[in-house]
A and B are shown apart, each in its own frame.
Chain A
């Protein structure tokens, strides 16, 4: 990047580092941090809406719907989440391909599961074998985001379900006394008041979501973990003009600090919001806390 970088072997340590840290691959590494932030920004609202509808389903009067909502919440909670991540990525992929297979190749007679293979007709492959590399990457991101949203949606559903129950009954009864319909009570009284009760839980969830992003690596995304492993590994002079030993420890230290900063700053920010929103309200028993256990 700098003009003196042409002959790195001759440089002093500091200049060598400035050259080393501005190579092309390092910019991919820095970009992957933005990637993490981007995925957080996309996943959070989707997970929140999944959670909202999950909670509506769970408190529905219709029994199958309420069972579905409650089952969704319960199953995701009892099992290690990483198992879910590994499971959903394959399951979703196969599910989509199977649906496309049914729609696009109705005359296909071979079984889809042949021994240890999952074979759909070529036209149903996702993404298509002929698709460019970027489509493959986008598809991987899409699957990862849906997986995250599904798992975190269940947690959000749990929080929102609890928050809906926490809204004082008297508020709803008053609304009824004023002649509001159930629909009106839900949207005009319950939902606006529920958020304040949901906020401690949701901010907790946000912290957990931040800390879950390195798991993207397991879903086959070239994220911060991927790059830290790639760049940190031992490099010999044959393949790069910046040879170095095993520096993976330092790269992961950088990641550790990045995540500490993320959780620290969002904790500060969420505390501010909570203070602002609860000003003058009696919120006994719903104390703000970003710990996972006393929330």
Chain B
């Protein structure tokens, strides 16, 4: 099989499109690149969806955590602690078995035991908690002067939040939030190792990488390929978020802008 044919039959394998059987022996470099790349579709799906939905929930949580009303503040605090204080790996396991039990009781929950929905919900709640903590930190460090100026202009309530507080919060939080995004994508590799089954061998990049490593007993090819894909993904995220960062900081002189710094931030 030429490399082009391999790409044709395996590029969408992780979605169940194309060749049904995975290669079994005499693995070529092309097959490994194609299948692991095909698995990246799942990583990007999980990461992107969780980030997009999680962003709004995180904003709400951060605002809730910084209110004075204890009935709002405490639940937000506990939620954030629950998801930040425990390992994501255990959260996946717990959620999977929880959904499995619920599925037994209610038919409604049957899609939740599949990775595309069940794992996505866990990732969404998890990233919401981590991002909320970032946003909360940013809310605490909004310059007093900006809020006072908003008051002086007669802005209040939703208007003040939408026009003054929220943009400043985003601006301050953005470098950390970029980190969160990067590591959320890294965390998506845990999904298929934590209970959620890879139905018909439709898995993510790490699933295929470990498939090749198990079959060939040679970790030195598939894992570096996976690493390469993830480094490319990380660079794309950094450059995209750089554009957003420029927009958020566009009113500031260049020496006052907050630069992105790649920080450690691993396993959740």
Interface of A toward B, CB cutoff 8 Å:
75, 77-83, 86-87, 90-91, 94, 113, 115-118, 155, 158-159, 201, 204-205, 208, 211-215, 217-218, 225, 228-229, 232, 246, 248-249, 252-253, 255-256, 259-260, 263-264, 289, 291-295
B100 within 8 Å of A by Cβ? yes
Q: Nearest CB to that of A87 among chain B residues?
A: B223
Nearest chain B CB to A212 CB, angstrom units? 5
Which among A255, A259, A294 has the highest number of chain B CB atoms within 10 Å? A294
Q: Could you tell me if B97 and A259 are in contact, using CB atoms closer than 8 angstroms? A: no
Q: Nearest CB to that of A73 among chain B residues?
A: B264
Q: Could you tell me if A80 and B94 are in contact, using CB atoms closer than 8 angstroms? A: no
B244 within 8 Å of A by Cβ? no
Q: Could you tell me if B267 and A249 are in contact, using CB atoms closer than 8 angstroms? A: no
Other-chain contact of B85, A86, A117, A264, A289 (Cβ < 8 Å): A264
Nearest chain A CB to B189 CB, angstrom units? 5
Interface flags for B78-119 (1: CB within 8 Å of A; 0: not) read 000110111111110110011011000000000000000000
Residues of B within 8 A of A289 (CB): 137
Q: Could you tell me if B189 and A82 are in contact, using CB atoms closer than 8 angstroms? A: yes
B250 within 8 Å of A by Cβ? no
B227 within 8 Å of A by Cβ? yes
Q: How many residues of B contact A (CB 8 A)?
A: 52
Q: Could you tell me if B86 and A263 are in contact, using CB atoms closer than 8 angstroms? A: yes
Residues of A within 8 A of B133 (CB): 291, 293-294
* Dominant SS among interface residues on chain B: helix
Residues of B within 8 A of A159 (CB): 264
Residues of B within 8 A of A294 (CB): 133-134, 137, 176
CA gap between A261 and B217 in the complex, in Å: 39
Residues of A within 8 A of B223 (CB): 83, 86-87
Q: Could you tell me if A260 and B264 are in contact, using CB atoms closer than 8 angstroms? A: no
List the 7 closest A-B pairs by CB distance, nearest first: A249-B97, A80-B186, A293-B176, A252-B94, A211-B87, A263-B85, A87-B223
Q: Could you tell me if B25 and A212 are in contact, using CB atoms closer than 8 angstroms? A: no
Residues of B within 8 A of A90 (CB): 213, 217, 219
Interface flags for B213-241 (1: CB within 8 Å of A; 0: not) read 10111111001001100110010000000
B180 within 8 Å of A by Cβ? yes
CA gap between A36 and B213 in the complex, in Å: 27
Residues of A within 8 A of B81 (CB): 260, 264
Residues of B within 8 A of A78 (CB): 227, 230-231, 234
Interface of B toward A, CB cutoff 8 Å:
25, 81-82, 84-91, 93-94, 97-98, 100-101, 130, 133-134, 137, 176, 179-180, 186-187, 189-190, 193, 206, 209-210, 213, 215-220, 223, 226-227, 230-231, 234, 262-268
Q: A293 and B90 in contact (CB under 8 A), knowing A78-B230, A80-B189, A91-B220?
A: no
Q: Could you tell me if A212 and B87 are in contact, using CB atoms closer than 8 angstroms? A: yes
Nearest chain A CB to B128 CB, angstrom units? 14
CA gap between A255 and B100 in the complex, in Å: 18
Residues of A within 8 A of B213 (CB): 86-87, 90
What's the count of A-B pairs with C-beta under 8 Å?
149
CA gap between A211 and B210 in the complex, in Å: 22
Q: Could you tell me if B90 and A215 are in contact, using CB atoms closer than 8 angstroms? A: no
Residues of A within 8 A of B88 (CB): 211
Other-chain contact of B89, A94, A116, A214 (Cβ < 8 Å): A214
In the complex, 21 of the A-B residue pairs with CB atoms within 8 angstroms, ordered by the A residue number, are A78-B234, A79-B227, A80-B189, A80-B226, A81-B266, A82-B189, A82-B190, A82-B267, A86-B209, A116-B25, A211-B88, A218-B193, A225-B90, A246-B101, A248-B93, A256-B90, A263-B84, A264-B81, A292-B265, A293-B134, A293-B176
Residues of B within 8 A of A215 (CB): 89, 267
Residues of A within 8 A of B217 (CB): 90, 116-118
Nearest chain B CB to A182 CB, angstrom units? 28
Which among A159, A214, A292, A293 has the highest number of chain B CB atoms within 10 Å? A293
Residues of B within 8 A of A246 (CB): 97, 100-101
Residues of A within 8 A of B97 (CB): 232, 246, 248-249, 252
Other-chain contact of B130, A87, A228, A292 (Cβ < 8 Å): A292
Nearest chain A CB to B264 CB, angstrom units? 5
Which among A113, A214, A229, A289 has the highest number of chain B CB atoms within 10 Å? A214
CA gap between A213 and B217 in the complex, in Å: 25
Other-chain contact of B268, A77, A211, A217, A295 (Cβ < 8 Å): A211
Other-chain contact of A252, B90, B263, B265 (Cβ < 8 Å): B90
Nearest chain A CB to B64 CB, angstrom units? 17
Residues of B within 8 A of A91 (CB): 219-220
